[in-house]
Amino acid sequence: MNESEIEALRSEWCAEFMVDDTVNGLIIRTPFLFPDGDSMTIAVERRGERWAITDKGATVSRLFFDQVDLTTGRQRWITDIALRNGLELSDTLAISLITESAPPSALDIADFIRVVSHVSAVAYNVREAGQQYPNKIVSTLEELFPERVQRRWSHPADTKGLYTPDARLLTPTGGVMLFAVSSSDKASRTALAGTKLDEWHAEEGVLVPYDPKLHRKDQDRLRENLPAAVFREVELEANEDDLRELVAEFGLH
């Protein structure tokens, strides 16, 4: 490309972004669209001595207006993507990138848009069928041990419920957190939970049944981040005897 063509492309690209001043920073209207067709708008704000790029909660809140349920599965995906990319997620589910002193660079803004786009795509398109594997295992264990299986339990240090296991087993020797893994994304979330459990010095046991088809690199990542966990291959079609054997070493028979 010659210089004039490059300049024309640069001008056309910049013209696609609309920037308005605010009291604390800028509002940037981008040419990128959410899945429902609305334009993606972000803010750059000064917060005391720090700066923030934020979506002000728009990415997640639009799920409500588009009648998309914010299920536990969707919220876990959103949280995992944000944290893995160094972003903060507020109690109101606003996604933000914080810089300590200097205003964010154009590269920071571009990367923030990339992550928010990823969050949005996942939020609309995450397959609840991905819950089939853990639901099958937990439901069968509930039938076998109705007084020994807790759903929706979180470690006391996990105040936002971001690292909730699929279930907690009440065994004769104490609680055991169960994470059932059948996909790479679930392996990533479980590995992240493992690092947090280590930080909290959690005394709960950890049991990780995983699909034999799970990629080897995901198995290795789980073992690296959950070194004290018990790992067992469990087929989706596992029967009651298989699942009794899964928990027998924890004193459930």
Q: Tell me the pLDDT tens digit for each residue of 191-204.
A: 888 888 888 888 88
Which band of pLDDT confidence, cut at 50, 70 and 90, is reported for residue 144? Answer: very high
Please return the burial class of 253, using the count of CB atoms within 10 Å of its CB with bins 0-12, 13-18 and 19+: exposed
| Enclosing H/E stretch for 86 | none
Using CA atoms, how far apart are residues 157 and 163, in angstroms rounded to an integer?
A: 10
**Predicted TM-score of the model (pTM):** 0.55
What residues form DSSP beta bridges with 207?
178, 230
Four-way CATH pick for 130-248: 2.40.50, 3.40.1350, 2.60.40, 1.10.10? 3.40.1350
Percent of the chain topping pLDDT 70: 87
Residues of the chain with CATH 3.30.1460: 3-126
Q: Which of 1-10, 40-49, 59-68 has the lowest mean pLDDT?
A: 1-10
The residue type of 250 is F
Give 90-121 as a DSSP string. Answer: -TT--EEEEESSSPPPHHHHHHHHHHHHHHHH
Residue 119: pLDDT band with limits 50, 70, 90 = confident
Q: Outline which parts of the chain fall under CATH 3.40.1350.
A: 130-248
Which residue in this structure is represented by tokens 């990339």?
114
What span, in angstroms and rounded, lies between the C-alpha atoms of 23 and 131?
45
Task: Tell whether the model's pLDDT for residue 121 goes beyond 80.
Answer: no
Q: Given 3-state DSSP classes, what are the helix, strand and coil percentages for the chain, each rounded to the nearest 5?
A: 40, 25, 35
Contact (Cβ atoms closer than 8 angstroms) between residue 213 and residue 204 = no
Contacts for 119 with CB less than 8 Å, ≥ 6 apart: 59, 60, 78, 81, 82, 95
What is the predicted pLDDT for the residue at 226? 92
- Whole-angstrom distance, CA of residue 179 vs CA of residue 138: 10
Alpha helices in 168-250 (DSSP H): 184-199, 216-225, 240-248
How far is C-alpha 106 from the chain's CA centre? Answer: 26
DSSP per-residue codes, 35-66: TTSPEEEEEEEEETTEEEEE-TTHHHHHHHHT
Q: Which fold, 3-126?
A: Yope Regulator; Chain: A, (3.30.1460)
Nearest to 97 by CA among 209, 133, 160, 89: 89
Lowest mean pLDDT among 76-80, 168-172, 213-217: 76-80
Question: How far is it between the farthest Cα atoms of the chain?
Answer: 77
Among residues 231, 207, 237, 228, the alpha carbon closest in space to that of 219 is found at: 231
- Look at residue 35 in the predicted model and tell me its pLDDT: 73
134 closest CA partner among 93, 96, 176, 167 = 167
Residue 204 Cα distances to 139, 141, 176, angstroms: 21, 18, 5
User: Rounded mean pLDDT of the chain?
Assistant: 84
How do residues 8-56 score in pLDDT, each as one tens digit? 656 666 777 888 888 888 888 888 887 777 788 999 998 888 899 999 9
Between residues 62 and 68, the one the model is more confident about: 62
